[in-house]
Amino acid sequence: MFSNGYTRLFASSTDTTSPTKLLFQIVLLQSFYYLTAFIIFYLISSLNGYDFKLDFIFSWELISSENAMGLILFAMWLFDSLLCVLFVTIIVGRSKLAWDFALTVHIINLIVVWLYTGKFPTSTLWWCLQILSAVVLVTLSTYSTRWKELRTTFFDNMLDSTQTQPTLVQEEGSSIELQDLNHSKEANV
């Protein structure tokens, strides 16, 4: 049922500005952004012997260069942005919209962090992380969505079965010659 609705919602690739479609994509992308962050942060904190807290995800105050945990959180957020590139490529799929969605993820994250902590973020390192994360997400998702669009346009028919591709055949006298498989099949028929 969900897959049919999802397919139907994204079936019309020409209507990229439908408010329902855009809202659904934003919610889905933001959910995956936080879900991957939750999984990454939970695994790393468990492996390092820390008790997992939601503050790792939603607090800007923990991002610090003064302790190892702050630097680990910094690196994990960058890794989360790298994973989010895949989600932008799959969910959005359009290079023209990749910028918008990548920046929307970070604007929503700013609002969520601000509401969670009750204070506007003032940490320079947190802002550097957000800028670096946004640059990574914008750049790589634009590249990957553009590659996805061009791949279907230019590269799908490159390996047609009608093309002749020579193959190496070794005869009994140990000489190697190129043989065209399509012509040898026609000769045998």
Convert the pLDDT of each residue in 160-182 to its tens digit: 545 555 555 555 555 555 555 55
Residue 143 forms part of a structural domain: yes
Residue 185 forms part of a structural domain: no
For residue 156, the model assigns a pLDDT of: 55
* CB 177, CB 169: distance < 8 Å: yes
Residue 6 forms part of a structural domain: yes
For residue 12, the model assigns a pLDDT of: 46
Residue 181 forms part of a structural domain: no
**What distance, in Å, lies between the first and last C-alpha atoms of the chain?**
49
Q: Provide the domain count of the chain.
A: 1
* CB 77, CB 64: distance < 8 Å: no
Residue 166 forms part of a structural domain: no
φ/ψ of residue 168, rounded to 5: -85, 130
Picking from 105, 101, 100, 85, the residue whose alpha carbon sits closest to that of residue 147 is 85
For residue 143, the model assigns a pLDDT of: 86
Helix ranges, 48-154 (H): 55-58, 68-87, 95-117, 124-150
> Which strand (E) or helix (H) includes residue 179?
strand 176-180
Residue 186 forms part of a structural domain: no
Which residues of the chain have a pLDDT value below 70? Answer: 1-16, 149, 151-189
For residue 76, the model assigns a pLDDT of: 94
For residue 113, the model assigns a pLDDT of: 95
Rg over alpha carbons for the chain, rounded to the nearest Å, is 25
The residue segments making up the domain with residue 23 are 2-159
Beta bridge partners of 167: 179
Residue 124 forms part of a structural domain: yes
Residue 84 forms part of a structural domain: yes
